Amino acid sequence: MRKTATLAITLLAAAALLTGCGSEKKDDGTAKAGDAKPSASAGGNAKGSAPDREGVPHQVVFEVGGTGKSQVMWVGNTNHFEQVTLPWTKTESVTLEDAELEVGHTVSVVPGSVKRADGMLQAAPCTIKVDGKQVADNQNGKSDKLCEYKLKN
């Protein structure tokens, strides 16, 4: 059983390395046979491709209340995780692009725990505001759910 588990983990690690490593192409000035990209003069966009599209920028404000220090994870343009001093506010400009214009883009904040007056821990209160309007909260920390909202144009 131990050998099987070790083999499975090794195969998964190898697969992850093979698919993840080298996925970024660096332009060293040399072209390879399969690297040619269709140009606009050679018939426009490649079949199935759409022109890059961009939506309107949205101002997203993440807030976590409370006092003291706590861990906070938030997802705006990218994922972030750090220890912060409460109360905490972070503002990001998020612009939907390409497929996100159709399906949306989820923004979220996961507050850490804070002590209540009785000494017990609870989730810190969190809110998300988009373009000045509050769109998500966790009922002042009474809900154990994260604050999340799907941005759409």
Does some domain include residue 20?
Answer: no
Does some domain include residue 9?
Answer: no
Say how many domains are in the chain: 1
Distance of CA 10 to the CA centre of its chain: 28
Report yes or no on whether pTM surpasses 0.85.
Answer: no
Does some domain include residue 26?
Answer: no
* Per-block mean pLDDT, blocks of 10 residues, the chain (153 long): 51 47 45 45 44 84 95 95 96 93 95 91 95 96 91 88
Does some domain include residue 39?
Answer: no
Length of the chain as a residue count: 153
Domain with residue 96: its CATH number is 2.60.40
Does some domain include residue 139?
Answer: yes
Confidence (pLDDT) at 132: 97
Does some domain include residue 44?
Answer: no
**Domain that residue 123 falls in:** 54-151
Structure tokens at 108: 């979220």
Confidence (pLDDT) at 41: 40
Distance CA 146, CA 111 (A): 7
Does some domain include residue 2?
Answer: no
